[in-house]
Amino acid sequence: MKKQNLIFIVGVVLFIFFLIALVKYFRVSDNQQINSVMIDNQQKDKNGTLTPINNGITPSSVAISSIDNTANTNSKTMSNEINFVPNTNWSDKTLNINGKQLTYRFGEGNPPEVALNPEQYLPRGDKDGIPYVTPKAEQQLKEFLSDKNLPELLNKCANFVNNQVIVQNPNVPREQLVSLMNNSDFDIENYLVIDKETGRKTINPNVDYKINDFLNTLNNPLERSPLVMQCFGLNRMDDFNKIQSEFQQLGREYTNTGAGIKGSEWKNQFENQQNSQ
């Protein structure tokens, strides 16, 4: 009797082990089936890496795409970086203008043969002044281009703005993006040129307009957080304001803007200035 009971108990235990093994078998089989379905729903790329076939639109693929795009953008913009080095050396020139040999020296204004008298270019009465390069304007131009902080501003902010323009116009060749800043825009030889018709020194309007737009873009009064604070630095506004002020002073001197002065009043002022010297 005892032997029969023992055999019965052993049989029950074996049956229980059999059931446990059976359950584990089906559980593993189901997992393998699920894994095989997931693998079948993927395709391998040429490098053997599994990628989703649903156009890659998954949270992970979006993250990878963003990283790849950022890397591509950084690689592209880095290749477009310019090392800005303003040139402040304007060489003396002797040119044949309208059959005359004229000599030009920096800081001396225009040759006597083509120079204008102050009453010819300054504002007077209801008449505005006309653009004219005076010795003072030449010195102001050199001071602007010689500002110790200008190269850093350009290398940080001009490159930043350039890169934004390039990214926003991916299908336009770089040479066709006329708004891009270049070293030639800060070359005094390209900034201060000779007008072949009048024979007088003049400010290159294309360069002047580009720089004016660039500085206004960096410090747009309508924006609460000027762009210059992002690319140049939060604590560099004083340095930027000095650079912009130098540029504006040059503009006022060159364009002769301001209140009109009557001819007789100008003559008296000019004579008083001459007598006081």
76-108 pLDDT per residue, tens: 444 568 999 999 999 999 999 999 999 999 999
* Most confident listed range (24-33, 54-63, 172-181): 172-181
Domain-embedded: residue 154: yes
d(CA 243, CA 80): 25
pLDDT above 70 (res 50): no
Q: How far apart are CA 262 and CA 125, in angstroms?
A: 4
Q: Which of 274, 253, 266, 269 is nearest to 120 (CA)?
A: 266
> 146: domain range?
93-113+134-257
> Any bridge partners for residue 44, and if so which?
50
Please indicate, yes or no, if residue 46 is contained in any of the structural domains.
no
Residue 76, classed as helix, strand or coil, is helix
pTM: 0.66
Structure tokens at 45: 């790329």
Q: Residue 239 falls within a domain, yes or no? A: yes
Has residue 24 got a pLDDT over 70?
no
Q: CA of 185: how far to CAs of 204, 238, 255, in Å?
A: 9, 23, 19
Does residue 150 form part of some domain?
A: yes
User: Would you give the DSSP letter of residue 232?
Assistant: T
Spatial neighbors of 262 by CB under 8 A, at least 6 apart, are: 124, 125
Number of domains in the chain: 1
**Nearest C-alpha neighbor of 180 from the set 250, 77, 75:** 77
